[in-house]
Amino acid sequence: MAQSRADIIADQLEDLILTGAFSSGERLNEMQLAARFGVSRTPLREAFQKLGQSGLVEQIPHRGVFVCQPGPVELLEMFEVMAELEATCGRLAAQRISDSALTELRLANNNCQAAVDLQEADTYYRENERFHQIIYVQSGNSFLAGEAKRLHRRLKPFRRVQLKARGRLAQSMTEHEVIVAALTRGDAEGAAQALRAHVAVQGEKFHHLMMSLKPAAE
């Protein structure tokens, strides 16, 4: 993995954007950020190229780079794609998953349940991520796993919001059980449908939440 100064800055900036440190449409001042990171503009600009490629910022020639937070519509679209990617991972994993991975999956799921009971949000998010990433890898398609990982990471901050919806956490756990069951019995279509629904509902919940917060969006 590439790890020069510019790459580290790119990762840090990505984190800052994903955690919402910048408001959407805000311009990223090169000199300002260069001073903040204690480097010159050169590595910063190289980092911008990377961020632009993943759609986190928009680069307008001679005007600068602007953070590009997805709106409600684009977010729904991304959740829709995520649902399909996860469904595909599940369909393939049902046929290819190893016993040890199944054990790990159940372990992660149990840890999730424990975190729910103990109200430990951070633990829940970590174990939930592990649960999904195991399925990505077990698809046996590393390119697919990479793409799924990328989008999952991109949607991470919005998933957190969505999970705050009442009763969503418990429902999510039930869905996980269905997914594990389908994978255990090697039911490809069952796993695919369960995962698609599991992720799709996240997008819908998120959308409802957004609408309820912005009732009079013109």
* Interface map 6-45 toward its own copies (x if CB under 8 A): xx--x-------------------------------x--x
- Under rule CB under 8 A, residue 162 binds its own copies: no
Single out the segment in contact with DNA by CB under 7 A; choices: 10-18, 26-34, 95-103, 204-212. Answer: 26-34
Alpha-carbon span 188 to 144, nearest angstrom: 16
- Under rule CB under 7 A, residue 26 binds DNA: no
Residue 54 partner contact from its own copies, DNA, none using kind-dependent CB cut-offs of 5 to 8 Å? its own copies
Structure-token match 């020639």, residue found: 61
> First CA to last CA across the chain, in angstroms?
45
Residue 93 partner contact from its own copies, DNA, none using kind-dependent CB cut-offs of 5 to 8 Å? none
* DSSP H or E segment with residue 87: helix 72-96
Between 64 and 140, whose beta carbon lies closer to DNA?
Answer: 64
Between 47 and 87, whose beta carbon lies closer to DNA?
Answer: 47
Beta carbons within 8 Å of 209's beta carbon, 6+ residues apart:
161, 162, 164, 165
Distance, CA of 88 to chain centre = 16
Alpha-carbon span 117 to 161, nearest angstrom: 19
Structure-token match 């991520």, residue found: 129
Burial class (CB in 10 A: 0-12, 13-18, 19+), 171: middle
CB of 185 to DNA, least distance (A): 48
Distance, CA of 123 to chain centre = 16
DSSP state of 177: H
Number of H helices, E strands in the chain: 9, 3
Task: Let me know how long the chain is.
Answer: 218
* Interface map 60-89 toward DNA (x if CB under 7 A): -xxxxx------------------------
Between 12 and 171, whose beta carbon lies closer to its own copies?
Answer: 12
DSSP state of 24: T
Interacting residue with its own copies among 52, 175, 187, 210 (CB under 8 A)? 52
Residue 212 partner contact from its own copies, DNA, none using kind-dependent CB cut-offs of 5 to 8 Å? none
- Interface residues for its own copies in 126-155 (CB under 8 A)? 141-144, 147
Give the binding site for its own copies (CB under 8 A). 2-4, 6-7, 10, 42, 45-47, 49-50, 52-54, 58-62, 74, 77-78, 80-81, 84-85, 88, 92, 141-144, 147
